[in-house]
Structure 1
Amino acid sequence: MFQSKKNIIAGRNPVTEALKSGQTIDKILMYKNASGDVIQEIRKLAKDLNIPVQYVPNEKLNGLTNVQHQGVVAYKTSVVYQDLQQVIDHTNDKGETILFVMLDGVTDVRNIGAIARSAVCCGAQAIIIPDKGVGALNEDAVKSSAGAMERINICRVNSLLKAVDTLHLNGVKVFTSEMKAGIKLHELGLTEPCCIIMGNEEKGVQQYMSKAADAHFTIPMKEGFDSLNVSVATGIILYEALKQRMLKA
């Protein structure tokens, strides 16, 4: 059965048909004990299309829809994901200096939408997200972006660490913020090809991702308060990049 409510497709055959017809699917939730030929087909199609499958209790699925889901629910997305290497090549071919944003553990779709707005306004060409551990880029995220998500490349990758390797191989430096970093934001060289990693507001960038960065910087703030919303922080950083690049031009 097809569940028209919001962005959900429920049922084995509807999900299978959605995958075969090329609909953009953000992720699939599947009952952990689901079995059968159609289930195997969905798993294979999802793997081939690089769509994450999350195994959940049946109660989770029951709470998402009031129709018979048969152990499978898929989330549609309005976003068309792009290949990272192709976006790098396309950006270079246009003669633009790469400015990307990578999101590590950012789950609030409103923050993601706001980040997309700042990214477009400041000239960034792409946002890189993992296939797991990030907020679903659904209608709410697109709405929060005020149309920005339709104007920027969204690259979904299996591994953020491998994405960093790809960036490095293409001459793109990777920077991330750290409260006690010795370099202040305005001292960072943002006129060169670079990607900024932004982390979860509570936990920040994961340690292994932080270690992979080429440099760490801090956003100067008044004493006594050191907390910024991730979308606000991203906007500050990207505007600094825009300013440096405008002054250099």
Structure 2
Amino acid sequence: MKNFRQQQHRPKKNTLVIGREAVIDAMKSGKQLERIYLQTTIHGPVIDEIRLLAEQNLVPINKVPVEKLNGFNISNHEGCVAMISKIQYQNLQDIISFIVEKGEVPLFLILDGITDIRNIGAIARSAFCFGVNAIIIPDKGVGALNEDAILTSAGALENIAICRVNSLMKTVDELHLNGIKVFASEMTAAKKVFELNLNEPCAIVMGGEEHGVYQPLLKICDEQFQIPMTSDFDSLNVSVATGIILYEVMKQRY
């Protein structure tokens, strides 16, 4: 049987930061990292410093076996390798202020628990086409915005603002403080997507296909909605659903 899974390309060496001190220096100098891979068996003060700096800089840490690190085809990694980000992450409040000053109606997309980079790439492509101001992702529990994700997005990930935050719950509070309503996609919701007022400043929350939107996050959203379907099939692919929702936003606004 053929394997139809998308091939994951090995990162180029010039996109990696190799070794513990090199990773520390990169974060202290302000270099944006996509994520850090730490060997599961290593511990000590230097590792604690890496963890602290990663938390301060919103850099995800993946604990991996040594075989994963060896798979990068590098030597002397000391159980620690970081991937340099191809995305320049933006500050959410700066984006909001910029949009308001331009006199535009804010539209944000929040991704919660979406780990498949092909879906993330396809979502970014739709977001760019339908006028989303920025995509908001958490620093943990989301697929890496690596070369494969950028390729799947047809380059959209490099042309739309991305905000990485350490708490989606706090982010919803920040959006509310700026007068932006937050709507969550939930397949059991009573309200249909076309019944929402999408002309107002808003953010759309899309959850992973397996678990949907995190329940506590769902509860603090202003409204929940669904995409009506003629069959009782389980659900739409999340990237397809996102495209449908964003088209509805564009239809209402234009």
TM-score surpassing 0.5?
yes
Establish whether residue 174 from structure 1 lines up as the match of residue 175 from structure 2.
Answer: no
Overall identity of the aligned pairs, in %: 57
Structure 1 counterpart of 2:97: 89
1:121-136 equivalences under 5 Å are: 121-136=129-144
Change (3 A) 1:130 1:240: same
The answer to whether the aligner puts 1:110 opposite 2:98 as a matched pair is: no
User: Of the candidates 206, 213, 217, which is equivalent to residue 205 of structure 1?
Assistant: 213
1:239 and 2:244 aligned = no
Show CA shifts across 1:194-233 (max 9, x none).
Answer: 1000001111111111111111111011124242111110
Q: CA deviation at 1:58?
A: 3.4
Matched, 1:159 2:167: yes
**2:33 maps to what in 1?**
25
Letter in 2 for 1:206: Y
Q: Which residue of 1 aligns with 2:202?
A: 194
Q: Contact 2:135 / 2:163 at 8 angstroms: preserved in 1? A: yes
- Code of the residue aligned with 1:72 in structure 2: it is C
Displacement of 1:51: 1.8
Residues 1:119 and 2:119 are matched in the alignment: no
Amino acid at match of 1:182: A
- One-letter amino acid of the counterpart of residue 152, structure 1: I
SS at 1:154's partner residue? strand
Q: Partner amino acid for 1:135?
A: G
Unaligned runs of 5+ residues in structure 1 are none
1:38 to partner: Cα distance: 4.6
- Structure 2 vs 1, CA of residues 36 and 182 (structure 1 numbering), >3 Å: closer, same or farther? closer
Q: Which ranges of structure 2 fall in alignment gaps of 5 or more residues?
A: 1-10
Asked whether the equivalents of residues 187 and 235 of structure 2 are also in contact (C-alpha less than 8 Å), the reply is: no
C-alpha separation in 2, matches of 1:126 and 1:162? 17
Would you say 1:12 and 2:23 are equivalent positions?
no
Residue from 133, 144, 147 that aligns with 2:152: 144
1:134 partner SS? coil
The TM-score, its normalising length taken from structure 2, stands at: 0.88
The alpha-carbon deviation at position 41 of structure 1 amounts to: 4.5
Matches of 1:70 and 1:200 in 2, distance apart?
34
1:225 corresponds to which residue? 233
1:44-63 to 2 correspondence within 5 Å? Answer: 44-63=52-71
For the aligned residue pairs, the C-alpha RMSD in angstroms reads: 2.1
Q: CA deviation at 1:80?
A: 0.6
